[in-house]
């Protein structure tokens, strides 16, 4: 069965992308993951991502642009 998770998309002034992948929660549908982004879990991730930008060396100089979903597991539906 396919599973979906959320990733944070970051950019810097040079237009470079960076990502943080949140695989601790997965969803059985893409729509479920998108609903999570637009709900309280998305708010929590936005706060976490803002803190990450200040504290994680690989995200210094980047800012949170958006969240997206990605497939973490392929399988039979």
Count Cα neighbours of 15 within 13 Å in the Cβ-side half-sphere: 0
| Number of domains forming the structure of the chain | 1
For 63, other C-beta atoms within 10 Å of its C-beta total 12
Query: Which residues span the domain enclosing 15?
Result: 3-73
pLDDT tens readout for residues 52-63: 888 999 999 999
Helix (H, G, I), strand (E, B) or coil at 71: strand
- Name the token pair of 15: 């237009």
User: What pLDDT, on the 0 to 100 scale, is given for residue 76?
Assistant: 55
- SS3 of 12-35: ECCCCEEEEEEEEEEECCHHHHHH
| pTM reported for the whole predicted model | 0.85
- Average pLDDT for runs of 10 along the chain of length 77: 93 96 93 96 93 91 96 70
């Amino acid at each position: 069965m396919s599973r979906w998770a959320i990733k944070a998309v970051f950019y810097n002034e040079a237009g470079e992308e960076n990502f943080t992948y949140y695989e601790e929660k997965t969803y059985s549908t893409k729509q479920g993951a998108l609903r999570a982004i637009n709900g309280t879990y998305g708010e929590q991730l936005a706060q976490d991502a803002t803190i990450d930008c200040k504290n994680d060396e690989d995200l210094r100089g980047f800012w949170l642009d958006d969240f997206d979903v990605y497939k973490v597991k392929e399988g039979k539906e």
